[in-house]
């Protein structure tokens, strides 16, 4: 065997091992969470709020955190969709291929890279300035800021694939740009919109660092926009921080619940967008 | 690269002949869409300005140099030195990159150059899925698996065999260390780096590979001599972007890195990265004078570091990755 064939074989083996290494460690995470979380998981965990002495290992569950997280992520996703869709449409149908659209893209990419803890600190400053306390509303706003670049850029990616001929046909029939954008482009990019929404939702529901500052934590169910709200990632974090093994067990179960929610969202968006994909002009 | 047909910049259709209702709606929508596009800039500027204003009290009191190089962190005595935290952030990130980059590059090369389309169809959704796992879950895994692993096996082994190097001196009996934080971070950013490198490699035209293969090169020789060289700037930018993600990662690192405000000397030392500092102390920062300003200044330092790497790498990547291209 010549030297270069040895080299080829060597690099192939290296690739195989690094592949196994990456895939293995990622698989290990899922296995760890399931193995540790499943024994502690019970119906009580997902159907009750923490009772007195819950953090000492007594009765209760984390329904407050599950519902809180869903509220937070849903609110934030709606809010950032309201602002994100016009930005995405603007970049493609209004400022197509212009420097301005590219600057907006750069700004979004830069925002995407800003750590979530910084969004949290920023939200905290704003709330201090306005005299608002840690609340569901604060959490929703900060998570919406976090989601905006993710969602908008993901939608932008799909709108860009819209064939211009479709828009041209719409203009030729006498539609205005607004009508074209809302009635033609949006319909065409529906699968992409759904993927973008789910992607952003998944990011928001798993983010702990930003809600730490602005949403607070409570053992009650969320009832008002102006009250603190519990969230799943923080439930994991706080329960893990207690010295009691029973409570730490519940942290693992909470982590499992969170992981399952995120995986369902991720797989669900794939399934949903592939279903809708049929109605799109290729 | 495929040549695109010249696509006309979408013309503003004349609205003169429209019914007033449609015309007004179109006019309003024009302005609203244009305004909404200013939002990303406003948010970016607002974040910098807000952090700047809130950290002003401490920046006015102390020289920036003494803050950045001060080693003592005693908020109660009014001593705020950021060096332990900045050093902690940099240590954890650099060690994580050392661990993550080689296997990630090999994986990406495998996916882009060797794997068949079936394999890719499986791997791509898997990477998306893994990128979606919340950082708290990575943290739980780190605490359960990585920290004991470092404590019981990696630290004794490395410090026994390589302990004469200060980098591997064992100083800390627990496994909560830079190494544990870095391993967790490395796994977290792996899907990200693989995805970007894969896309950058995909921009090399097939002719390039075929030419090398036609000259009798083996596959790896073709990759090494014809595929990788033109993509080096793109791959580097992807790595830098991954590093800037790692810099800001909070929860997962916070849970395994030990959080001791010291300037680390060895990978088995505990460290205290900037994001962890913020997350751990937000509760008490309003009760001690200048503490809140110091914490906000640390957020400002963090965001400036991240922005610096981010902007450079995004601009470079625009030449390579469709996602970043105009």
- Inter-chain CB proximity A117 and B279 less than 8 Å: yes
Give the pLDDT confidence score for residue B3 in this predicted structure: 45
If we measure between CA atoms, which residue out of B276, B309, B286, B244 comes closest to residue B54?
A: B286
- Inter-chain CB proximity B144 and A105 less than 8 Å: no
Give pLDDT tens digits for A73-113: 999 999 999 999 999 888 877 776 677 888 888 899 889 88
State both tokens at A237: 């974090």
CB A168 within 8 A of CB A107: no
- Inter-chain CB proximity B133 and A206 less than 8 Å: yes
Least Cα separation, residue A22 to chain B (angstroms): 7
CA distance B139 to A95: 42
CA distance B290 to B49: 18
Q: Which helix (H) or strand (E) holds B61?
A: helix B39-61
In a domain, A163, yes or no: yes
Give the pLDDT confidence score for residue B1 in this predicted structure: 40
Residues 238-257 of A with CB under 8 A from B: 240, 251-252, 255
Q: Which residues of A3-20 are buried (b: 16+ CB within 10 A; e: fewer)?
A: eeeeebeebeeebeebbe
Give the pLDDT confidence score for residue B2 in this predicted structure: 43
Give the pLDDT confidence score for residue B21 in this predicted structure: 81
In a domain, A32, yes or no: no
Confidence of residue A172 (pLDDT cuts 50, 70, 90): confident
Smallest Cβ distance to B110: which of A19, A199, A209?
A: A19
DSSP class of residue B77 equals: G
Q: Which helix (H) or strand (E) holds A256?
A: helix A245-276
Q: State the greatest distance between any 2 C-alpha atoms of chain B, in Å, as a whole number.
A: 84
Tell whether B312 lies on the interface with A, counting CB pairs under 8 A. no
**Residue indicated by tokens 């920036």:** B64
CA distance B232 to A131: 50
**Mean pLDDT, all residues of chain A:** 86
Domains located in chain B, CATH noted: 62-206+237-324 (1.10.3720)
Q: Are strands B79-80 and B73-74 parallel, antiparallel or unpaired?
A: antiparallel
Q: Taking CB atoms and an 8 Å cut-off, how many pairs form between chains A and B?
A: 282
In a domain, A16, yes or no: no
Confidence of residue A26 (pLDDT cuts 50, 70, 90): confident
Predicted structure pTM score: 0.89
* Domains contained in chain A, number: 1
CA distance B177 to B266: 9
In chain B, which residues have pLDDT < 50? Answer: 1-6, 325-326
In a domain, A23, yes or no: no
Query: Which structural domain, as residue segments, surrounds residue A72?
Result: 64-279
Least Cα separation, residue A59 to chain B (angstroms): 23
In a domain, A193, yes or no: yes
DSSP class of residue B257 equals: S
Per CB-CB distance under 8 Å, the chain B contacts of A217 are none
Tell whether B285 lies on the interface with A, counting CB pairs under 8 A. no
Give pLDDT tens digits for A225-267: 888 888 899 989 888 888 888 888 888 999 999 999 999 998 8
Identify the bridge partners of residue B73 per DSSP, sorted by sequence position: B80
CB A107 within 8 A of CB B40: yes
Confidence of residue A282 (pLDDT cuts 50, 70, 90): low
The arithmetic mean of pLDDT across residues A109-130, rounded, is: 90
Residues 176-235 of A with CB under 8 A from B: 176-179, 181, 199, 202-203, 205-209, 212-213, 233
If we measure between CA atoms, which residue out of B275, B162, B178, B279 comes closest to residue A115?
A: B275
- Phi first, then psi, for residue B13 (nearest 5°) are -65, 145
Give pLDDT tens digits for A34-43: 998 888 888 8
Least Cα separation, residue B155 to chain A (angstroms): 19
State both tokens at A40: 């502690």
Give the pLDDT confidence score for residue B94 in this predicted structure: 93
DSSP class of residue B74 equals: E
- Inter-chain CB proximity B250 and A4 less than 8 Å: no
Give pLDDT tens digits for B228-265: 988 888 899 889 989 988 998 888 899 998 888 888 88
Give the pLDDT confidence score for residue B326 in this predicted structure: 42
Check pLDDT > 80 for residue A57: no
Residues 57-96 of B with CB under 8 A from A: none
Task: State the helix-helix crossing angle for A136-159 and A116-130, rounded to 10 degrees.
Answer: 130
CB B179 within 8 A of CB B301: no
State both tokens at A53: 């002495």
In a domain, A59, yes or no: no
CA distance A37 to A260: 11
Identify the bridge partners of residue B79 per DSSP, sorted by sequence position: B74
CATH number at residue A257: 1.10.3720.10
Per CB-CB distance under 8 Å, the chain B contacts of A118 are 47, 51, 248, 299, 302-303, 306
- Inter-chain CB proximity A94 and B51 less than 8 Å: no
Confidence of residue A218 (pLDDT cuts 50, 70, 90): confident
Task: State the helix-helix crossing angle for B178-202 and B228-248, rounded to 10 degrees.
Answer: 140
In a domain, A58, yes or no: no
Tell whether A274 lies on the interface with B, counting CB pairs under 8 A. no
- Inter-chain CB proximity B41 and A107 less than 8 Å: yes
Give the pLDDT confidence score for residue A246 in this predicted structure: 83
In a domain, A250, yes or no: yes
CB-based burial of residue B170 (10 Å sphere; 0-12 exposed, 13-18 middle, 19+ buried)?
A: middle
Cα distance between the two ends of chain B: 15
Least Cα separation, residue A51 to chain B (angstroms): 24
Give the pLDDT confidence score for residue B157 in this predicted structure: 83
């Amino acid at each position: 065997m010549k030297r270069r064939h040895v080299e080829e074989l060597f690099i192939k083996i290296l690739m195989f091992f690094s592949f196994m290494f990456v895939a293995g460690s990622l698989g290990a995470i899922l296995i760890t969470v399931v193995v540790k979380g499943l024994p502690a998981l019970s119906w009580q965990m997902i159907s009750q709020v923490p009772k007195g002495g819950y953090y000492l290992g007594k009765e209760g569950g984390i329904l407050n955190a599950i519902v809180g997280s869903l509220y937070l992520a849903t609110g934030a996703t709606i809010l950032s969709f309201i602002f994100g869709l016009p930005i995405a449409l603007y970049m493609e149908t209004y400022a197509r291929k212009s420097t301005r659209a590219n600057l907006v893209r750069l700004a979004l990419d830069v925002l995407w890279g800003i750590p979530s803890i910084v969004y949290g600190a920023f939200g905290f400053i704003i709330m201090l300035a306005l005299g608002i306390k840690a609340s569901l509303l604060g959490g929703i706003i900060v998570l919406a800021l976090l989601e905006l670049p993710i969602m908008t850029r993901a939608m932008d990616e799909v709108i860009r694939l819209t064939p211009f001929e479709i828009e041209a046909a719409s203009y030729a029939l006498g539609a205005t740009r607004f009508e074209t954008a809302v009635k033609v482009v949006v319909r065409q990019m529906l699968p992409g919109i759904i993927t973008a929404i789910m992607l952003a939702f998944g990011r928001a529901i798993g983010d702990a660092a930003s809600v730490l500052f602005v949403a607070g934590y409570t053992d009650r169910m969320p009832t008002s926009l102006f009250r603190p709200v519990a969230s799943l990632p923080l439930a994991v974090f706080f329960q893990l921080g207690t010295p009691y093994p029973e409570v730490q067990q519940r942290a693992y179960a909470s982590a499992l619940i969170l992981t399952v929610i995120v995986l369902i969202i991720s797989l669900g968006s794939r399934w949903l967008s592939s279903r809708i994909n049929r109605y799109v002009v290729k | 690269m495929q040549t695109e047909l010249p696509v006309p910049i979408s013309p503003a259709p004349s609205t003169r002949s429209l019914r007033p209702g449609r015309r007004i709606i179109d006019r309003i929508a024009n302005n609203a869409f244009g305004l909404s596009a200013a939002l990303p800039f406003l948010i970016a500027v607002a974040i910098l300005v807000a952090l700047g204003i809130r950290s002003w009290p401490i920046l006015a009191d102390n020289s920036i140099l003494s803050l950045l190089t001060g080693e003592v962190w005693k908020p109660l005595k009014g001593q705020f030195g950021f060096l332990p935290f900045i050093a902690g952030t940099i240590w954890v990130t650099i060690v994580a990159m050392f661990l993550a980059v080689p296997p990630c590059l090999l994986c990406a090369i495998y996916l882009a150059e060797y794997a068949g389309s079936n394999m890719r169809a499986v791997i791509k959704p898997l990477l998306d899925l893994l990128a979606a796992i919340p950082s708290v879950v990575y943290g739980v895994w780190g605490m359960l698996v990585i920290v004991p692993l470092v404590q019981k096996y990696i630290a004794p082994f490395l410090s026994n065999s390589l302990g004469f190097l200060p980098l591997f001196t064992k100083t800390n009996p627990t496994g909560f260390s830079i190494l544990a934080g870095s391993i967790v971070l490395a796994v977290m950013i792996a899907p990200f780096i693989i995805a970007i490198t894969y896309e950058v490699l995909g921009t090399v035209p097939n002719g390039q590979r075929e030419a090398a293969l036609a000259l009798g090169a083996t596959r790896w020789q073709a990759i090494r001599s014809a595929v990788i060289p033109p993509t080096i700037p793109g791959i580097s930018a992807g790595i830098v972007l991954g590093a800037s993600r790692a810099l800001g990662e909070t929860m997962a690192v916070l849970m395994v890195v030990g959080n001791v405000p010291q300037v680390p000397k060895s990978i088995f030392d505990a460290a205290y990265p900037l994001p962890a500092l913020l997350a751990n102390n937000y509760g008490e920062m309003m009760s001690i004078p200048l503490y809140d300003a110091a914490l906000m200044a640390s957020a400002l330092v963090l965001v400036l570091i991240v922005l610096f790497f981010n902007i450079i790498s995004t601009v470079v990547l625009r030449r390579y990755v469709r996602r970043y291209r105009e």
